[in-house]
Structure 1
Amino acid sequence: MDRAVDQAMEVFWANGYAGTTPKRLTAELGIGSGSLYNAFESKRALFERTLRRYYERESVRLIQVLDGPGAPRERLRAAVDLVVDAARSDDGRGCMAANAAIEFGGRDQVVEHLVRRIFDRQEAAFRSTIEEGQRSGEIAADVDAVAVAGLFLATINGIRVLAKADQSSPRLDIMAATALRAL
């Protein structure tokens, strides 16, 4: 089941919810349509599971960088660099959470809740790292940690979305550098 959810996550991530047909899912997972519906109830239920898996597996990478060792400012830079590097090497997939937010556009409460959890978790990690930097004196005490954490969240998601149109754009590096200057 875990492997099937991981495989389905990759399919949804690459094609979106609407662009992923049950036929494509069964082909990619190597199962029949009866097995798909017996195991996951519906395409929709499987999508929700894959979005939860994305939360558990993919969003944790950014959190690990922000919560990891090193000076707070270095970790913030490493987190933004991680996003820029991933945006340039992910074949235009972008962030599954951002993709879902765009595709569903607030028209689905479950998806909206799952996406909000992912974004809230990322923003909280940015805020925590900024506040740690303030306590250590590395980041000025008058920096609004909540506002700047929101800026970082908007920046990383903007980078992911813009990279879908042009992964080589110098705009991605400019956005990353500008966010870091807010510290």
Structure 2
Amino acid sequence: MGRPKQFDPDAVVDKAMDVFWRKGYAATTPQDLVDELGIGKGSLYHSFGSKHALFERALERYRDTQAAALVGLLDQPGPVRPLLRSALELLIETDLGESGRRGCLAVNTATELGGRDDASTELVRRMFERTEGAFKAAVERGQRTGEFAPDRDPAAVASLLLAALVGMRVIARAQGGRERLCRVADAALAML
């Protein structure tokens, strides 16, 4: 009879997400994971299969939590423009916050592994589509309420907002500063 697990797999995935987010996929060694997650190498491989499989689970967790937060914010009642502003400001605060300039795990993964790792690229692509979909729904809502010009293509505006968001997250990692990030957010919102 095997020994029961002595750890919570969900908590391990959360900790692994933090490690990969801080260090990147390639720079994170299996020993880093063992040291920071507090589990043995055998348990790591038995429970998750491989470093890459654990990374995929961590990236999925990131996608689910980040997308849920964005959708929840944009689905609130009231005028849409301030909700979009709040979403972009939340990202600015997150990227410039106490956790350091980690950027966005999905954007970091896209720049590190995009086009070279099909599974990770697909996870990031789906996250970007989900984010873009949330922006598109918000723009369509703003058009229905008369807040935004009806002649704008909601899909194109959503793509622009996604591009601004991704750019802001890259700029934040390079010490872009609050003022620069706010200028990008202002310019993106002015297009509505």
Indicate the TM-score class for this superposition, using the shorter chain for normalisation.
over 0.9
CA distance in 2, matches of 1:106, 1:17: 14
AA in 2 matched with 1:40: F
CA distance in 1, matches of 2:63, 2:56: 11
Equivalent residue in structure 2 for 1:87, among 60, 73, 95: 95
Instruction: Tell me the residue number matched to 2:6.
Output: none
Instruction: Tell me the residue number matched to 2:172.
Output: 163
AA in 2 matched with 1:175: V
Is 1:180 the counterpart of 2:192 in the alignment? Answer: no
What are the within-5 Å matches in structure 2 for residues 57-72 of structure 1? 57-72=65-80
AA in 2 matched with 1:34: G
Is 1:142 the counterpart of 2:161 in the alignment? Answer: no
Is 1:48 the counterpart of 2:53 in the alignment? Answer: no
Report SS of the residue matched to 1:141. coil
Report SS of the residue matched to 1:119. helix
Is 1:14 the counterpart of 2:22 in the alignment? Answer: yes
Deviation, 1:180, is 0.5
Instruction: Tell me the residue number matched to 1:2.
Output: 10
Report SS of the residue matched to 1:150. helix
CA distance in 1, matches of 2:107, 2:140: 26
Instruction: Tell me the residue number matched to 2:46.
Output: 38
CA distance in 2, matches of 1:105, 1:176: 25
Fraction of identical pairs, as percent: 50
Deviation, 1:167, is 4.7
Report SS of the residue matched to 2:152. coil
Q: Which has the larger radius of gyration?
A: 2
CA distance in 1, matches of 2:154, 2:90: 21
CA distance in 2, matches of 1:68, 1:55: 20
Deviation, 1:173, is 0.9
| Contact 1:73–1:133, Cα closer than 8 Å, also in 2 | yes
CA distance in 2, matches of 1:82, 1:169: 12
AA in 2 matched with 1:115: V
| Contact 1:62–1:82, Cα closer than 8 Å, also in 2 | no
| Contact 1:87–1:159, Cα closer than 8 Å, also in 2 | no
| Contact 2:92–2:178, Cα closer than 8 Å, also in 1 | no
Unmatched segments (≥5 aa) in structure 2: 1-8
CA RMSD of aligned residues (A): 1.1
Instruction: Tell me the residue number matched to 2:109.
Output: 100
CA distance in 1, matches of 2:50, 2:23: 17
Deviation, 1:88, is 1.1
Unmatched segments (≥5 aa) in structure 1: none
